[in-house]
């Protein structure tokens, strides 16, 4: 008997559970929008894999992340295409809560390694989304080599980020030819997905670096409560939300280029280490002045309601919110970051911070513009950017035969 | 060393003696295999050439006599398609002549001398005409076992010789010579390590690292001498060296009654790659000498020897897998060859993290292919 993870949960039951879970959130507008949104998370349920846009961008942010960047080790384009097709099939299955391969973790030839690793047996789909992006080095290596005949298809927007003051980037955990963002409400489901994709990709890609995250630090829908980051502050109050379609079309989705990226979005990743112990010594007033919000309610300084409009004139001019807010930066990005704690460093300090992820229609007028505006950010004293990446995330898959990268490599 | 998941030796396999009687290869090292040769083909090997007396033969058993006129130790191989080893002589010292008996059905082959015992060797095409035998599935599997068992025997013989030379240098207090021989002697062990591991007690005696030893137990074997040679002195090394000779001789004796199943070959081939992935790629194996890349090469050789023995079986059942195995072995070999230096390799400690990652990626790709072989063999 084939033991599918889906067998543990009735498919019909999932849909009902999903509606209930969504309804528990809050504002009427958010509920309605979310209920119509095919990419809405259902907590334990499945998020549709296909659609106009990739899932995992405006999908209500799940609680857990496993992000992985690969370098392509083959130089053969057909081999790369075959792997992307195999990945797509596995991703399609895993997001439905099924085993990665058609045979499954325990049903195959006992002398063959199973085509699924098994640690997600018995777990629900957990809202798993798998979002793929292509880095600049896939199109042209750092040495300028066009390995796959893709150089003329590299979007002008997809270029390495400029250096920013204070960067402490480590090349070995930066960049990558291909990234996969795996988000789920169960960490084991996210790790299972990345592990199986890495296994399937062996010989074609090698893992360059990966990052685990927990405790989403942004809400991407209005009915999600604003979470707190490791500074202890609410983070993402004024983030772009999935129920703001006009803003998303303007700031997040690529459109009108007539290229394979229409319907896609650009992803910027930054591993931002927080100097936790230093931060924790700062008095409450300084912490609040550094961020620009009150620590308890999350309201902008001078206000009492978290969602009260930000009054730039009332904020300390070098506070993070004063400089990062759309009304100051002149642009908006869809943030989707996660906290991380990678144990402690050799000096007994937490190696912890924010794994910042954001989506935008153009990194130059998105993250780069925001980050440049943060040059004098008071928060810079407490953070170090240690990893950086930029990736072109293609539009969603159109049908059951479609595969990741078909518009680029098909 | 590591603990194997499954015993390499399973009950019910034909013994080495029986296998030899079934036909297939025979080995010069074992002193008189099956059948006699009607000819004696001279092979003149030097550091830069490998002149074989003939390039066309009739199917049957042939004898090659390899004379090494070069300055480095050489090896001689007869390869079938996919570099399946039909016969080989290891460890032919300068000035020495050694002979090889090999049974060759009709087909296309290559001979190779490997001066310095590294690389693809100096190749010559060899065509064998006459009746070609069509083997049944079971016969093909038995032929694979025979083929690989012969490989193991030849490696053990070379291991005894090289270990003796190494031990002699250690006991003579000749540090430079002993350091030079250490990775060479280990090569013959690392190629067949799963076989040694199948004799449960021998692998810990020969190849334990310091942290493998239970408190209260005595640490013996290669790695004790490695520590003495690179991080200590040889004043107390004599008894350890003698014990190593005894244990290697014990291994050679036990190999004579080795009984292998086809699945053991497939699992052993993967086990050797897992060895690389778990201890060589991290530089843990040879923590004093940093000669891990010699061991890497030896594990890779041993894995390939087992897979090439099985190759006709794999090629019949899954030609695509056979081709993938060929190219994956070649790719990993090419990745490793970047670090060749002289007759050996650069020290592990000179590799950059990116270079280690390149080796690791290549090895993972190879192991993914090799992991498909057991199911094919099990049918």
Local confidence band at B23 (pLDDT 50, 70, 90 cut-offs): very low
Mean local confidence (pLDDT), A220-231 = 86
Give the position of tokens 């070649």. Answer: B330
Task: State the average pLDDT for chain B.
Answer: 86
For testing the chain A interface, which of B356, B360, B361 should be mutated: the one with the most A CBs within 10 Å? Answer: B361
pLDDT for the residue B27: 40
Local confidence band at A31 (pLDDT 50, 70, 90 cut-offs): very low
- Transcribe A117-135 into DSSP letters: --TTTT---TT-EEEEEE-
Task: Determine the Cα–Cα distance for residues A269 and A367; give it in Å rounded to an integer.
Answer: 10
The model's pLDDT over A43-68, given as tens digits with 9 standing for 90+, comes to 689 999 999 999 999 999 999 999 99
Give every strand in the sheet of B122-129, ordered side by side.
Answer: B56-58, B122-129, B107-113, B74-80, B84-92
Half-sphere exposure of A247 (CA within 13 A, CB side): 17
User: A378: which 2 tokens?
Assistant: 């008071």
The model's pLDDT over A109-130, given as tens digits with 9 standing for 90+, comes to 889 999 999 999 999 999 999 9
For chain A, the structural domain boundaries read: 5-409
Residue whose C-alpha is closest to residue B35's, from B102, B133, B100, B88: B102
Task: State the average pLDDT for chain A.
Answer: 89
A with B: how many residue pairs have Cβ under 8 Å apart? 37
A203 to B372: CB separation less than 8 angstroms, yes or no: no
317-346 in chain B: CB under 8 A from chain A: 328
The model's pLDDT over B211-260, given as tens digits with 9 standing for 90+, comes to 888 888 899 999 999 999 999 999 999 999 999 999 999 999 999 988 89
Mean local confidence (pLDDT), B134-154 = 88
pLDDT for the residue A224: 80
User: B191: which 2 tokens?
Assistant: 């190629």
Mean local confidence (pLDDT), B269-286 = 90
Mean local confidence (pLDDT), A132-156 = 97
Local confidence band at B133 (pLDDT 50, 70, 90 cut-offs): low
Closest-CA distance of chain B to residue A70, Å: 11
The model's pLDDT over A341-394, given as tens digits with 9 standing for 90+, comes to 999 998 899 999 999 999 999 999 999 999 999 999 999 999 999 999 999 999
Its sign, for the CA torsion A212, A217, A221, A226, is: positive
pLDDT for the residue B340: 95
pLDDT for the residue A18: 33
pLDDT over threshold 60, residue B7: no
Task: Determine the Cα–Cα distance for residues A76 and B327; give it in Å rounded to an integer.
Answer: 13
Identity of the residue in B263, B362, B372 whose CB atom sits nearest the CB atom of A112: B372
Q: A231-248 burial, b if ≥16 CB within 10 A, otherwise e?
A: bebbbbbbbbbbbbeeeb
Local confidence band at A22 (pLDDT 50, 70, 90 cut-offs): very low
A206 to B353: CB separation less than 8 angstroms, yes or no: no
pLDDT over threshold 50, residue A2: no
B332 → chain A, closest CA residue: A203
A79 → chain B, closest CA residue: B324
| Full set of structural domains in chain B with CATH | 36-134 (2.60.40.420), 142-378 (1.20.1420.20)
Local confidence band at B36 (pLDDT 50, 70, 90 cut-offs): low
Task: Determine the Cα–Cα distance for residues A164 and A166; give it in Å rounded to an integer.
Answer: 6
**Which positions ≥6 away from A220 have C-beta within 8 Å?**
A58, A59, A60, A61, A239, A240, A241, A242, A334, A336
pTM: 0.78
Report the percent of chain A where pLDDT is more than 90.
79
ipTM: 0.74
Residue whose C-alpha is closest to residue A74's, from B109, B100, B328, B184: B328
pLDDT for the residue B33: 37
pLDDT for the residue A402: 97
């Amino acid at each position: 008997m084939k033991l599918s993870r889906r067998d543990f949960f009735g498919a019909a039951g999932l849909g009902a559970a999903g509606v209930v879970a969504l309804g528990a959130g809050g504002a009427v507008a958010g509920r309605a929008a979310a209920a119509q949104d095919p990419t809405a998370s259902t907590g334990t349920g499945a998020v549709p894999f296909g659609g106009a846009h990739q899932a995992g961008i405006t999908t209500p942010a799940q609680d857990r992340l496993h992000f992985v960047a690969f370098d392509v080790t083959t130089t053969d384009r057909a081999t790369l295409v075959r792997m992307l097709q195999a990945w797509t099939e596995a991703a399609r299955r895993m997001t439905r809560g099924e085993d990665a391969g058609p045979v499954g973790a325990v049903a195959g030839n006992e002398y063959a390694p199973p085509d699924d690793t098994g640690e997600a047996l018995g777990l629900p789909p957990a809202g798993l989304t798998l979002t793929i992006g292509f880095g600049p080095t896939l199109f042209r290596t750092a040495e300028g080599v066009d390995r796959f005949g893709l150089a003329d298809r590299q979007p002008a927007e997809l270029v390495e980020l400029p250096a920013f003051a204070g960067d402490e980037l480590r090349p070995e955990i930066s960049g990558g030819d291909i990234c996969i963002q795996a988000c789920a409400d169960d960490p084991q489901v996210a790790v299972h997905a990345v592990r199986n994709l890495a296994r399937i990709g062996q010989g074609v890609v090698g893992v360059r670096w990966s990052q685990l995250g927990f405790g989403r630090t942004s809400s991407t829908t209005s009915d999600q409560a604003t979470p707190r980051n490791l500074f202890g502050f609410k983070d993402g109050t004024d983030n772009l939300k999935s129920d703001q379609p006009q803003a998303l079309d303007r700031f997040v989705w690529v459109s009108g280029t007539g290229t394979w990226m229409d319907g896609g979005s650009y992803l910027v990743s930054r591993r931002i280490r927080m100097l936790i112990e230093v931060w924790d010594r700062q008095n409450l007033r300084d912490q609040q002045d550094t961020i620009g919000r009150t620590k308890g309610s999350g309201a902008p300084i001078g206000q009492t309601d978290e969602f009260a409009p930000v009054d730039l004139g009332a904020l300390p001019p070098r506070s993070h919110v004063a400089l990062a807010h759309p009304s100051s930066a002149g642009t908006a990005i869809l943030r989707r970051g996660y906290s991380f704690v990678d144990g402690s460093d050799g000096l007994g300090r937490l190696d912890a911070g924010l794994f910042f992820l954001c989506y935008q229609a153009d990194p130059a007028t998105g993250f780069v513009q925001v980050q440049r505006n943060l040059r004098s950010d008071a928060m810079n004293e407490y953070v170090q950017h240690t990893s950086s990446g930029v990736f072109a995330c293609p539009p969603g898959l159109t049908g059951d035969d479609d595969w990741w990268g078909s518009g680029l490599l098909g | 060393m590591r603990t194997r998941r499954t015993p390499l030796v399973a009950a019910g396999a034909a013994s080495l003696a029986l296998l030899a009687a079934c036909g297939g290869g025979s080995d010069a090292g074992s002193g008189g295999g099956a059948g006699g040769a009607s000819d004696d083909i001279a092979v003149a090997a030097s550091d830069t050439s490998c002149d074989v007396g003939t390039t066309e033969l009739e199917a049957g058993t042939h004898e090659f006599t390899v004379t090494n006129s070069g300055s480095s130790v050489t090896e001689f191989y007869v390869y079938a398609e996919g570099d399946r080893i039909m016969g080989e002589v290891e460890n032919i010292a300068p000035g020495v002549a050694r002979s090889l008996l090999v049974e060759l059905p009709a087909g296309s082959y290559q001979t190779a001398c490997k001066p310095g015992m590294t690389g693809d060797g100096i190749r010559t095409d060899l065509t064998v005409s006459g009746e070609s035998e069509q083997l049944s599935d079971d016969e093909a599997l038995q032929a694979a076992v025979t083929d690989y068992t012969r490989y193991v025997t030849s490696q053990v013989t070379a291991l005894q010789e090289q270990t003796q030379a190494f031990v002699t240098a250690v006991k003579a207090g000749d540090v430079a010579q002993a350091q030079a021989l250490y990775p060479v002697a280990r090569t013959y062990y690392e190629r067949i390590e799963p076989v040694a591991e199948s004799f449960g007690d021998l692998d810990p005696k020969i190849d334990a690292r310091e942290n493998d030893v239970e408190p209260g137990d005595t640490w013996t074997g290669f790695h004790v001498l490695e520590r003495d040679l690179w991080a200590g002195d040889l004043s107390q090394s004599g008894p350890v060296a003698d014990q190593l000779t005894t244990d290697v001789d014990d291994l050679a004796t036990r190999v004579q009654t080795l009984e292998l199943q086809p699945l053991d070959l497939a699992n052993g081939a993967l086990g050797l790659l897992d060895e690389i992935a778990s201890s060589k790629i991290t530089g843990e194996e040879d923590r004093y000498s940093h000669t891990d890349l010699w061991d890497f090469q030896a594990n890779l050789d041993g894995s390939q020897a087992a897979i090439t023995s099985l190759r006709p079986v794999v090629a019949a059942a899954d030609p695509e897998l056979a081709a993938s195995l060929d190219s994956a072995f070649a790719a990993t070999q090419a990745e490793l060859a970047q670090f060749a230096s002289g007759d050996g390799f650069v020290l592990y400690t000179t590799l950059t993290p990116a270079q280690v990652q390149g080796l690791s990626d290549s090895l993972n790709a190879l192991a993914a292919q090799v992991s498909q072989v057991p199911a094919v063999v099990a049918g």
